[in-house]
Structure formats: structure tokens, C-alpha cells
Amino acid sequence: MTPYDDMAPPAKGSASTTPLVDGFGRTVTYLRLSVTDRCDLRCVYCMAEHMTFLPKAEVLSLEELDRIATAFIGLGTRKIRLTGGEPLVRKGMMDLIRSLSRHLRSGALDELTLTTNGTRLAEFAPQLAAAGIRRVNVSLDTLKPDLFRTLTRGGQVAKVLEGVAAAKAAGLAVKINTVALKQDNAAEIPDLIRWAHGEGHDLTLIETMPMGEIEADRTDQYLSLGEVRRELESFWTLDEIAHRTGGPARYVRIAETGGRLGLITPLSHNFCESCNRVRLTCTGTLHTCLGQEDATDLRAVLRAGATDAELMAAIRGGVDAKPKGHDFEIARRQPAVARHMSTTGG
Ligand code: SAM
Ligand code: SF4
């Protein structure tokens, strides 16, 4: 039971009965909620080796996260993805998930899911399945123990593989997300796809995005998925399929493996016209575009004692100003936005 279980259904004509539509007519139905900036790994493209994490007081409490998520659901959000940092390292994470799952049971929410690095999935998979989670995205860039240790600065790939197996055993659908890295895993991509499809998992390839200052020069690691696709097509048959998620991924079916491959190309394709999503950082800042600096401070609204109606009005204001599109440009060798992916939530 949470303080919101007995929240009255929205009155007709109230702020919450009209959908959340931005200034360009796009309806927002998908919230990516970062629940922590902390992580047990330090992926080279995501974090600096020595990160300074936020003081606890700046991070939304579990109750605040629940309240904001519930306000979004009241405004028509149908899908919530929990992310981070690493969501499964946040203390009390399962309490938040169990609490939010009441919206699945009521039918107000179609899907509650999470993106995880998988290191703690073996421990949590059964509880996640019991709470109504049906799918998880697991980030995995290599199956090679040594390379995994290098890319994550100390992680053990065996733990992730154990987590993926536990998720499958618990009945969760798993999608593997792989960042394509020119030097590190380019040659391994076919093996990763073969492994994922062999296990019955979709795999999505992601291009590196210029987010936040890190030590390495990321243009060295940028690998165009157009190039990867041409390489895969030299030995496999890739059939276009209609599957879309409202996000930047395009999907193909590989005839030889029978599995589905997603390609996320934020740098080489424009997907902004159909964007249905917004992001909330773990400090309560609403970002309506991953590649722009626009921001609405919902934590300030909440901590000033806002009513649910006032909170919803603040969300509407933020969404109304959602930019038309992003502005990533790898050639500039500068992060398009200064914030790290781990703060925004990938
Ligand atoms: N820790 C969880 C994980 O790794 O899945 C969730 C958060 S992580 C920031 C979400 C996703 O963002 C991961 O799939 C990660 O590979 C991706 N990511 C992080 N930094 C990125 C970057 N600069 N470019 C592209 N993808 C990035
Ligand atoms: Fe952690 Fe995920 Fe970032 Fe890797 S990508 S450092 S696992 S938050």
C-alpha cells in the first residue's frame, strides 16, 4: 500500500484527462525514469573513471519518484522504463517497482520495464517477474571476459551472463543492447548477434553518442551502423520488418539466425518527428530531448509542496516546450550536451 493507492481517479475535464501533447503535436506516452546516478561499473563511453556522485539529498526519494511517475501516468503515460546509473543498485528499488506495479494491475500503464547492466539480475529476476515486469533490456558490449573488464573498468561478464540466464528462467523477455565500438567490439558483433539470437533474445546495436565529458576521444570509437549493416549483409540476409517502438530503433530480421536486430542510429538518422518520450533525471529534472539542454525542475515543484494538479501543470509546461529535434554531431568532437548518460538515463 502506498500513499497514492487511494488517489481519486481524475475528474472529467481536469488537467489529467487531456493527453500530454507537445508544441509540435507529438503525444508523449513514454517516460524514462532515472532512479540513481550511481553504478557498479564504469563503462568507458559512459562514465569517467573517478566519478563524483550526487549527494543523497539531491536525488529524488523513492516516494518522490513514485509521485512523479504517478503524475505522468495520470497524464497518459503508458510505458515507463526505469534506468540510471544502474537501477538495480538503488536501495529499495524493488519497493518502488512493486509500488509502481499497481498501475499495471489497474490497467493505467501498459508496461513497466528497466534497462540494466545485468550484474545484479540473477538476484532480482524472480522478484521482477513477480512484480509484473515482462521485459528487461540488458546492456552487453562483449562476451569476452578480458574485454568486458576493460570496457567496464573492472566488471565480470560471467555475472551478466548469469543474470541474463536468470531473467530467461524467470520468464522475462530479454533484449541485449550493444554499443558499437570501432576498436573494441566491431569484429565481435556477428558473434554477439549469433549468441543473443541463439538464446532467443533480440539484440539492438547503438551508435556512440556524444554525452558528457569523458577522458577518451570518442570519435575514435564511433562506428557507423550503416557500415556494420553493410558488413552483416555480406554474409547474412537482413529483411526489413515493420516493428517500431516510437523510438530511434529500426528493426530487421536476420534470415539465418531467425532473430530480430535493432539499429539505433541517433547520429546518422533523424527520428525526432515520431518521438513519444521524455526523460526524468534522478534529481527530478525533466528533459524532453536527449540531445538538447531544455530542462524543467520538477523536484523544486515537488519540494515546494505542489498539489497533484500543480505537479501535472509543471509537467505539461515542460512537455509543451519539447524541442523539435536533437543536435548531435560527432564531427564537432564536443559533447552535444554536458550531462552524462548515467545522469539522464539512457
Ligand atoms: N546501467 C544501465 C545499463 O548500462 O544498461 C542503465 C543505464 S545506461 C546509461 C543505459 C544505456 O546507455 C546502456 O545501454 C549504455 O550502453 C548506453 N550508453 C551510455 N553512454 C552512452 C553513449 N555515450 N553513447 C551511446 N550509448 C550510451
Ligand atoms: Fe553504468 Fe550503464 Fe553507464 Fe555502464 S552504461 S557505466 S553500466 S550506467
User: How much is the pTM?
Assistant: 0.90
63-116 per-position pLDDT tens digit: 999 999 999 999 999 999 999 999 999 999 999 999 999 999 999 999 999 999
pLDDT score at 267: 56
Give the chain's length. 346
Quick one: which ligand is closest to 176's CA?
1
Does 6 have pLDDT greater than 80? no
CA of residue 204 to ligand 1 center, whole Å:
12
User: Which residue has the CA at smallest separation from atom 5 of ligand 1?
Assistant: 116
**Ligand 2 pocket by Cβ (under 6 Å):** 39, 41-43, 46-47, 84-86, 117, 139, 342
Domains of the chain: 23-174+272-344 (3.20.20.70)
DSSP result, 143-189: S-HHHHHHHTTS--HHHHHHHHHHHHHTT-EEEEEEE-BTTTTGGGH
Question: Do the bridges between strand 111-116 and strand 135-139 make them parallel or antiparallel, or are there none, so unpaired?
Answer: parallel
Q: How far is the CA of 274 from the centre of ligand 1 (A)?
A: 22
- Of all ligands present, the nearest one to the C-alpha of 43 is 2
User: Is residue 195 predicted with pLDDT exceeding 50?
Assistant: yes
To the nearest 10°, report the CA torsion of 174, 177, 183, 188.
30
- CA-nearest residue for atom 7, ligand 1, is 84
Q: What tens digit of pLDDT does each residue of 106-143 get?
A: 999 999 999 999 999 999 999 999 999 999 999 999 99
Nearest atom in ligand 2 to 342's CA? 8
In the chain, % of residues over pLDDT 90 = 68
What's the CA-to-centroid distance between 137 and ligand 2, angstroms?
Answer: 13
Using a 6 Å cutoff on CB, does residue 139 contact ligand 1?
yes
Grade residue 342 by pLDDT with cuts at 50, 70 and 90. low
The residues with which 222 forms a beta bridge, in sequence order, are 181
Locate the ligand 1 atom nearest the alpha carbon of residue 340 and give its number: 20
Strand order in the sheet with 111-116: 238-240, 249-254, 260-264, 202-206, 173-179, 135-139, 111-116, 79-83, 30-34, 277-280, 285-287, 296-297
Q: Report residue 177 as a C-alpha cell.
A: 543492447
| Residue ranges with strand state E in 181-265 | 202-206, 238-240, 249-254, 260-264
**For position 343, what pLDDT does the model report?**
58
What is residue 271's three-state secondary structure? coil
pLDDT at 242: 83
Evaluate: CB of 177 within 6 angstroms of ligand 1: yes
